[in-house]
Amino acid sequence: MSLIIDASVAVKWFVREDGHEEALRLLVRGEEMHAPDLILGEAANAAWKKHRRGEVTHGQAEALAAALPHYFARIWPSRELIDRALRLALDLDHPVYDGLYLACAEAAGGTLVSADARLLDLAAKVGLGGRVRPLGPGRP
């Protein structure tokens, strides 16, 4: 089974914050990891915000952006996911950005791992609870 990783988890691979250890454990599980191409912009934007707040250096932000693509077996083009992502966004009344991660989980036949509790709750409400799981304490 493949894991679909969203930016809320991927950033934790590089930054010591809540969930850092749990996120690192995903890297040693040996499962294929996938993400929509959106992850590159979202993670880089998170790195920029953390730099502005003094949480990471300029070099750390650049290293995150450069290294991130290498963690994935496949980065899915948004054009392959956008129709389903929009339908999910409309059903959930939630941004299309997160719909791309859910659509990726469906397309890859995998499970989305996210630290975004609201997204996970909404996914369960539309019958996608089996396609998502939280990144949390003690989770492998």
Span 114-140, pLDDT tens digits: 999 888 888 888 788 889 999 975 444
**Is pTM beyond 0.85 here?**
yes
Pairwise pLDDT comparison (23 vs 139), residue with the higher score: 23
86 — pLDDT class (breaks 50, 70, 90): very high
Q: Which domains does the chain have, with CATH numbers?
A: 3-134 (3.40.50.1010)
Half-sphere CA count of 90, side-chain side, radius 13 A:
6
Strand order in 3-5's β-sheet? 74-76, 33-36, 3-5, 111-114, 132-134
Q: Say how far apart CA 64 and CA 10 lie, in whole Å.
A: 9
Q: Give the model's pLDDT for residue 139.
A: 44
29 — pLDDT class (breaks 50, 70, 90): confident
Span 30-41, pLDDT tens digits: 899 999 999 999
Strand partners, 34: 4, 74
